[in-house]
Chains A and B, each alone.
Chain A
Amino acid sequence: MKHDMVTITIDGRKTSVPVGTTILAAAQQMGIHIPVLCHHPKLTVTGACRVCIVEIGGQPVTSCTAVAEEGMEVTTASPYIEGLRRDIVDLILSDHPYDCMVCERAGDCELQELAYKYSIRQPVFQGERRIYTKRDGNPFIERDMEKCILCGRCVKVCDEVQGVGAIDYAYKGFETKICPPFERDLDCEFCGQCIAVCPTGALVSKPSLGKGRKRNVNTVETVCPYCGCGCNITYDVVKNEVIRARSRQDTINEGWLCVKGKFGFSFINSPDRLTTPLIRKDGKLVPAGWDEALDLIGERLRKIRAADGPDAIAGLSSARCTNEENYLFQKLMRAGVGTNNVDHCARY
């Protein structure tokens, strides 16, 4: 095994890491924090933001791209490096709106954290800022491209994880912008993965706008109710209302959600939502208790099976149930009722 490892020194501490490990990954394993803006552990390397620079042999090198080599000496936070990092953050802030007070991501923004860390109230490098007045008309994703720092995470998640490629870079130079083709309104799957990876407030969930920022919410860990995949969801809840759906990276679904999990939670507080069984009495659906409803179903199933045999009965279940529930349902139909007439909207 030994020859597959390389030994490097980071900030005076020796460590052995597998061949091919980046300096950033090695430092993270040692608990050494290196700031990043474009790097994302689930996406391929971009190397765009340059804030993860470290000093190797006196030269500034981006730690997200530099691969550990035997005997490498790395300094992650010399005054020289911190000065360069400060100036890079300064440059980003010089082209960023100063509206943290109304930003959805305040308190949960990776850029804001770096501005705080380097105490940049007014950028040294001042100048023109990109102004975009066009707002995207889609119902789910608010795209405020003035806040975009062009880290490219959204482009990569859309391409590499989702396989959609709905957005990409357009234009050149200072005018470079991430947008759908021909700057049309976003017309994609609306999985919202781009929101999940955006380090700033450039991409936020439209249904959640103005309903509560990260520090003002309670979080509830749950499982997505939409299908058998069982994705883990973290709901942000304010005053007993779910305002936002997120997912953590350390979950079975690695933090990724689809449009339903990401945006489909408004039914929870909908007045149209059924909360009790309904039984049709005299042509009208009337609310009933669970015992009454289950008794009625059992009685009717028995009668039909006695009169016309079990194959007169068919069962249709829902993909919104869990796998376990669907397993039990087919068991009920096959073993209990005695028919193979069982299906569900996503097929057994």
Chain B
Amino acid sequence: MANDSIEIKVCLGTSGSAAGGEEVLRLFKHHVQEQGVEARVGRRCSPSKVGCRGFCSKDVLVDVILDGSKTTYQLVTPNMVERIVLEHVIDGKPIAEWTVKEEYASFHAKQHKIVLGPCGEIDPESIDDYIAMRGYRAARKAITQMKPEEVIGQVITSGLRGRGGSGFGTGEKWRVCRGAPGDVKYAVCNIGEVNRPLAEGNPHAIIEGLLVGGYAIGAAKGFLYIRERYHRSVERLSIALEQARERGFVGRNIFGTGFDFEMEFSFGTEAFICGEETALMESIEGKRAMPRVRPPFPAYAGLWGRPTVINNAETFSNIPLIIGMGGEWFSKIGTATSKGTKVFTLSGKVRNNGLVEIPMGMPFREIVYGIGGGIEGDKTLKGIQVGGPSGGIIPTSMLDMGLDYEHLARVGSIVGSGGMVVFDEDDCIVNVAKFYLEFLQRESCGKCVPCRIGTKRMSELLTKITEGKGEENDLRTMERLAGVMATTSLCGLGRTAPNPFLTSFNHFRDEYLAHIREKKCPAGVCTALITFSVLAEKCKACGLCKRACPAGAITGAPKQPHVIDPEKCVKCGACYRACKFKAIKKA
């Protein structure tokens, strides 16, 4: 990577690949060779793959770095490659109409990428790229120069808290596990859905973090727990693990210190509950993923009854930074009690969807309007679901609240795995809560009563309300049920399962009452509560709605206002979307 070489970086994360990145990269290599670029410009030029840089809605993204100046192209398709090579790489003239627009800069400007930083910059399948950016130096420093206690001390100083669920202090967890009696200990890295970009973009950071974690707690064995279905993540991690093993970073006598640390994969199946650490351990042991009772806590008795530390890939990815730069440095990012950054998948009705990394404490307004670029179609923001399915819905009135563990806990939400879905005026909050409860119901492991039956009853009651059959008493029943679930469920899944209902009910009570008292869905989503009709004065009798209707519910002669038969109408909304004159009324 000498300074005068020409770099072409093609995004090959899951999204980039899905958008055709493999072919784009192949063509770049092809054209660079065919045009004899290296000979013609007299510099090295090797197109390479990089991981996800977050702005997935504009994939395939391609960076061309020429004379130290980086140009990023968006929505690159195979037929654009040749022109980029000819005009930009060879002639040095960037193609302005294909480059990223202003939102690409604003999407990145407010972010603080420390964990995601290398994703999108380095080739994730090259250990040399990782080493070139100081990779494995933290592990070397920790293992050769620091005592395990000192490593744990740095992690405690950093204030790093678990990025997967409840936000328990990582250093504290390690300290307890190190102090737990027993010769055999395990370190486990859970690579969840939201961690896939890390595994695909910078897998060595995960391996290095797990290595340091294993050293700190006194483990000789680490597990990379990941769903087998995440093929690309598994592939990149496997390559990275193999390379790390070849260089002696994993295996016996690491850095010549006599420290042995083995790593192996453990493949999970499709189950949300595997994010719960005790269920995850059951899964690694080859059993059905059902949470264990606590105590004993995993730090004392985890995998096969041995002291075990489980952190997710984002937590472990922070470790090399903390050891390398020092806990002090890390603790300067974020708020007083929530340190560092957090990766979120920003999705829903924001303009800029994608993967973002923000410093803890950033106000929601800045995330939605700064990074996210505001709401699509300039509609009104309704709320933000934070922390995945069992998180809570943050209303517009709390937009200036900072995103950190404490604030979210106070409003009945969690940082969780880092999901962030933005809803606008067209989203029905009852329907949203129903959606999440139905998901949680399906994903309950079925072990304890409050979760197994409670999630079922709650989703039934929410369905009842969306169908216009709700009674005010149902709300009291749900609040009572939420109390039972939150206090008596065995694990976090059941305890947090009422969050989507509780937070939405707290902040959008009127919308619930509209469904129940007036039998209306203000957002016009709940099909049982809306009717479509033609506004005769606006209807131009063009017949578009008639043709769009899949149920044959619309009749009308030429020059006559059309009519919707409510008996036949299936409320799909096709006519509403088809009408060019806003003559279909949804109410």
Contact = CB atoms under 8 A, between A and B. Distances in A.
A91 B484 contact: yes
Most buried by B among A50, A125, A173: A173
B2 interface: no
B460 interface: yes
Most buried by B among A60, A168, A169: A169
A171 B446 CA distance: 8
Given A67-B295, A88-B488, A172-B442, A128 B448 contact: no
B444 A173 contact: yes
Given A53-B488, A87-B480, A125 B452 contact: no
Most buried by B among A84, A152, A174: A174
B288 to A, nearest CB: 6
A48 B448 contact: yes
Contact of A47 (B441, B444, B448, B455): B448
A150 B480 CA distance: 23
Nearest to B447: A48
Interface in A54-72: 59-60, 62, 65, 67
Interface string A35-51: 00000000001111111
B481 interface: yes
Most buried by B among A94, A149, A168, A172: A172
A169 B444 contact: no
A142 interface: no
B293 A62 contact: yes
B449 A173 contact: no
Contacts, number: 105
A163 interface: no
B300 to A, nearest CB: 12
A92 interface: yes
Q: How large is the interface on B (under 10, 10 to 19, 20 to 34, 35 or more residues)?
A: 20 to 34
B447 A125 contact: no
B490 A172 contact: no
A216 to B, nearest CB: 31
A173 B457 contact: no
A168 B449 CA distance: 17
Nearest to B484: A87
B456 A128 contact: yes
A50 B441 contact: no
The secondary structure that dominates the A interface is: loop
Most buried by A among B441, B455, B487: B487
B522 interface: no
B450 interface: yes
A176 interface: yes
Interface residues of A, number: 36
Contact of A169 (B446, B453, B455): B446
A62 B273 CA distance: 21
Interface in B476-493: 477, 480-481, 483-484, 487-490
B354 interface: no
B454 interface: yes
A127 interface: yes
Contacts of B454: 91, 125
Nearest to A149: B449
12 contacts: A45-B293, A60-B488, A84-B487, A88-B488, A91-B450, A127-B457, A127-B460, A150-B446, A169-B447, A172-B444, A175-B446, A176-B446
Interface of B: 271, 273, 288, 290, 293-295, 441-450, 452-457, 460-461, 477, 480-481, 483-484, 487-490
Interface of A: 45-51, 53, 59-60, 62, 65, 67, 84, 87-88, 91-92, 94-95, 124-128, 149-150, 152, 168-169, 171-176
The 3 nearest A-B residue pairs measured at CB: A176-B446, A47-B293, A174-B456
Given A95-B453, A125-B481, A172-B442, 15 more contacts: A48-B447, A49-B449, A50-B448, A50-B488, A59-B487, A65-B294, A65-B295, A87-B481, A127-B460, A172-B446, A173-B452, A173-B455, A174-B452, A174-B456, A176-B447
